[in-house]
Amino acid sequence: MILARDEAELHTVRSGLSGVVGVVMTMGALHDGHRALIAAARGSCDAVLVTIFVNPLQFGPSEDLDRYPRTLDADLALCEAAGVDAVFAPTVDTVYPGGLPAVRVNPGPLGRELEGASRPGFFDGVLTVVLKLLHLTRPHRAYFGEKDYQQLALVRRMVRDLTVRTDGAAVEIVGVPTIREPDGLARSSRNGYLSTMERTAALALSAALFAGARAAAHGPDAALAAARSVLDGAVELDYLVLTDPDLGPAPARGPGRLLVAARVGTTRLIDNMAVTVGHDPAVPTTGGDAAAGVPAGPSVAS
C-alpha cells in the first residue's frame, strides 16, 4: 500500500493504478462502516484508493473541527489489512493552497434542508471537497455510506448536474448500506464522544427507526408517531422526517426513507432507514412485523 501526502505524490500513485479505480472518501478515525465501503470497492474495482482528510470547509464555527479524532497510523493499518492499494492523506494546504476557496459548489435547494438547515454551509463544504477529490483522484467509481443519506443523494446529483467524468464516463456513485453495532447504533466516528450513559441514550435513534419501519405498514403518520414515541425524552431531537427514497415528499404507499438527527449531550448524531409505507393493509396493528417484512431490530435497553 502506498501513502501519498501531496498532489505530486498522488499523481505518481494514481498513474500506477490501472483498470477500474474505486475511491472511498473519509475523514479518518476509520471503523467497520468505512471497512464496508472499502470491501465494496475491493469487490468491484481493480484498484482501491482511500482519501483521509478532515475538511475544515464543512465544519461550522461552533462545531468539532478541532477535536475531531485524527488517528492516521491506525487508519493506515486498517487500510493495509483491508487490501487498499493507496491512501491519499493530504494536509489542508495541499487541498486548499492559498486558504479556503472563495468559489464553492452550491448544493441547491436539497442542500439547504435537513442537515443543511441545521448546519448552514455544510453541503457547500462537502460537495466542494468531494468535487476536488474526484478531480484529484480520477476514480471510475466512488463509494459513499447510506448512513449519510442526504450527502449520498447530493453527491449523485452533483455528478449528474456538473457532468463529472473520468476517462469520458460519468463517475459511478455507489451507496453502501449502514453498518450498525450489534445493538443497532449506526457506526460513526463521533460515537467515540459519547459517555456510557449517552451511548445508551443514543440507541433511541436506531430504535426509533426500527419502530417507525415496523409501523409504516399502517401509513406515514403511524411510522412517524411510532418513531417519535421512542425518541421523546431520550434525546434532544433535531428532525425526524419521512420522505420518498429521493428525499422528496413522503409517499402514501410504497418505498420511503425515515431520517433522524438528534443531539445526545454535546454530540450530534444522524441515522436513517428504508421503510415501506402502507404496503399491506392486511397487516394487523400488533405483531405484524414478519408480515410487513420489517426486521424486528435489536432489542434496546433505553
Question: Pick from 13, 21, 23, 36: which binds ligand ATP (CB under 6 A)?
Answer: 36
- Tell me whether residue 75 or residue 148 sits nearer to ligand BAL (CB atom): 148
Q: Is 47 in a helix, a strand, or coil?
A: strand
Q: Does 187 bind ligand ATP (CB under 6 A)?
A: yes
Min dist. Cβ of residue 219 to ligand BAL (A): 31
Min dist. Cβ of residue 125 to ligand ATP (A): 12
Whole-angstrom distance, CA of residue 161 vs CA of residue 149:
18
β-strand partners of 86: 2, 49
Contact in structure between 260 and 270 (CB atoms under 8 Å) = yes
Nearest in space to 288 (alpha carbons), one of 222, 237, 189, 193: 222
Whole-angstrom distance, CA of residue 263 vs CA of residue 123:
19
Nearest in space to 17 (alpha carbons), one of 148, 167, 215, 220: 167
Residue 11 known to be catalytic? no
Min dist. Cβ of residue 222 to ligand ATP (A): 27
Q: Return the residue matching grid coordinates 464516463.
A: 169
Binding mask 108-127 for ligand PAF (x = CB under 6 A): ------------------x-
- Tell me whether residue 95 or residue 223 sits nearer to ligand PAF (CB atom): 95
- Tell me whether residue 124 or residue 148 sits nearer to ligand BAL (CB atom): 148
Q: Which of 11, 34, 218, 279 is catalytic?
A: 34
Q: Does 41 bind ligand ATP (CB under 6 A)?
A: no
Q: How far does Cα 155 stand from its chain's mean position?
A: 11
Joined together, the cell numbers standing for residue 41 give 470497492
Question: Pick from 186, 223, 250, 294: which binds ligand ATP (CB under 6 A)?
Answer: 186
167 labelled as ligand-binding?
Answer: no
Contact in structure between 222 and 288 (CB atoms under 8 Å) = no
- Tell me whether residue 30 or residue 277 sits nearer to ligand BAL (CB atom): 30
Min dist. Cβ of residue 158 to ligand BAL (A): 15
